[in-house]
Amino acid sequence: MRFLTNGAPGDPRTVLYRRCVIDLARGAITIGEVPCRNLEEVLGGFGRSFQYLGLRDVTDAFGVENPMVVNTGLLTGSNVMTGLRTYFSAYSPLKVSDKGLPSAIWSAGSGKFGSKLKWAGLDEVILEQKADHPVIIVIRESDNGPQVELKPADHLLGKYCHEKILTLYAEYPNAHFAAIGPAGEHFDACYYAAIALSTENLLKTGDDKCRWAGRGGMGAVLGSKNVIGIVAEATDRTVPLSPETRALNKEIATGPGSRKFREKSRGGLGGTWANYEPLEQFHMVPQNNFRPTGDGKPELMFRDALEDDFVIKAESCYRCGINCHKNIYERKADGTKGEYRAKFDYEPLNLLSTNAGVHDPHQVWPLVALVDHLGMDSISCGTTITYVLDYNARHPDTPVFNGATFGDADKIRELIELVGTGQLPELGQGSKRLSEQLGETSYAMHCKGMELPAYVPDTNPGYPWAIAGGHMSMGTYMLVALEGDTSLDYWVKAITERGLYMVRDDLLGVCKFSGLNSETAARSLGEVGLQVTKAELQGAVKRAFIRALWLERKQGFVRDDYTLPSQVLDRPNQAIDAAPFVTREFFAALSDRVWEVFDREIANLPPLESEAAL
């Protein structure tokens, strides 16, 4: 980013970002500076990419007309702790309207790739068209600015994600990487393929410790373009911390915002894994396809229950003091750390264990690890598989696929292997399409084609308005457990005045686990030379969110697309220790009220300005 000094104060056009556009079909590469149209573009992430996507007409997520935007946030690569995020945006093969048109989505990941991309001299890379053979994109810094070239990627094909990254690391030792796995190579048979991002820990140990841009099938879109990986090579840009940034980073590492994700020994709650315990108090941990039973079995996956058999080590991304990664190692007879097994975050852990009826951690970690190896989104993969388990339990005489049902870890592993290697396309298309083909949609746990994360929809009527995954773009998923209010007025405000602001960090380039409050987030932008108020920042975040809803409408989404699985509305789960409130009547009234607010915001949204007009 470059700030001009001869423009009017606050004019976004005085801020320039450097973009590389690659026409993969022709091998043409164009690099230039682009003036920002508004504050959302200055901040970056999906605030910028969705404006580019909004000017495109896309009917097929795998068509050459669907561009992929790879960009960073303003704080990516800065001294602000957790400023590591990379964003991958495109029209999604999973997020589709009932009319069948794809909608825009972004997926974010940490690691060090985004910082290296920024340090190499680029803020954004746009991939157009499709290469005629498998390629990697190599981006390098130079005295003359960023250098970009396409190289053959045949030697990477078939390898697991982390194996691809390690192979590239041997070739480019001063770089970091983004790569797809076998699932992305078989994009047309696995719509929820993800993109793996390298970490320092992975490169040092050789263990599969990637970070992930998982949601929405961005790995499938990248694979459809015949791009197997991206290399960003640059010298690290480390400068002394200012007193202000040092104080900010201390707040991030030790303050209340990140407490949930830190170790208990450091005053934290133990990471996302710790969600098991407060949710199980109310029998809200998903079991057997999001249908808690109240039988106490979720306790078998509590962290304390695993300590005897495994060493659980808290590890981190580059220069981050939160240490949110909970990596699982075998415990040797003498109590020391043995072989690395997997990383246990709450979502993959629950969706591939308790929600699938598997309660033995020695059976669970191979499932979690295999999903990562093959390069799939664990949320969509796990939730689609549990739909299959549920279907087979309901149809024991006529099961589908290999007949897997709840608790059958071996058959679940077989399903993962088949879908991740392109051999089970019916499963790889996601739960929306599969349930429609099987004629039983009521218990397919998705909203708008996006599989639900590991929080029961019975307590979260905000899910349908999430724009990029239920727990990463609408902050309502834990509210009943934390606050207990189920009134209509509360939920209207929770969605329209609170939950939408969860997407703020998907503009800035910082991790949501930093837990920055609005005042601190606005102040943190001073680290990179941008002075904004809390109100200005919140205004930009709201416009970016509303623009995403406008984009959904542009792609044919109508009110009927914004709903919950009908099982939730028609069959309240009495095992959940909270009064059922998400009835059809409640949801209809909520929808009326929410759309009253959002329709007005969409109508008042400034029209997209073409870049040619700048």
pLDDT (tens digit per residue) in 406-423:
999 999 999 999 999 999
Provide the pLDDT for residue 614: 52
pLDDT(6) > 80 = no
pLDDT(107) > 90 = yes
Provide the pLDDT for residue 612: 62
Residues 84 and 171 sit within 8 Å (Cβ to Cβ): no
Describe the crossing of helices 361-374 and 378-394 by its angle, rounded to 10 degrees.
Answer: 120
Residues 428 and 187 sit within 8 Å (Cβ to Cβ): no
pLDDT(8) > 90 = no
- Residue 148 three-state SS: strand
Residue 55 class from Cβ within 10 Å (0-12 exposed, 13-18 middle, 19+ buried)? exposed
Considering the entire predicted model, what is its pTM? Answer: 0.97
For 300: left if phi > 0, alpha if psi spans -120 to 50, otherwise beta; the answer is alpha
Provide the pLDDT for residue 284: 97
Average pLDDT over residues 236-258: 92
Provide the pLDDT for residue 9: 66
Alpha helices in 135-242 (DSSP H): 161-171, 182-185, 200-205, 218-224
pLDDT(394) > 80 = yes
Residues 367 and 386 sit within 8 Å (Cβ to Cβ): no
- Residue 515 three-state SS: coil
Provide the pLDDT for residue 124: 98
Residue 11 class from Cβ within 10 Å (0-12 exposed, 13-18 middle, 19+ buried)? exposed
- Distance CA(262)–CA(484), nearest Å, equals 25
**Mean pLDDT for the chain?**
96
In CATH, which of 3.40.1190.20, 3.60.9.10, 3.30.230.10, 1.10.357.10 is domain 2-233?
Answer: 3.60.9.10
Q: What is the DSSP letter of 128?
A: E
Digit-coded pLDDT (tens) for 598-610: 999 999 999 998 7
Beta bridge partners of 138: 149, 231
- Residue 53 three-state SS: helix
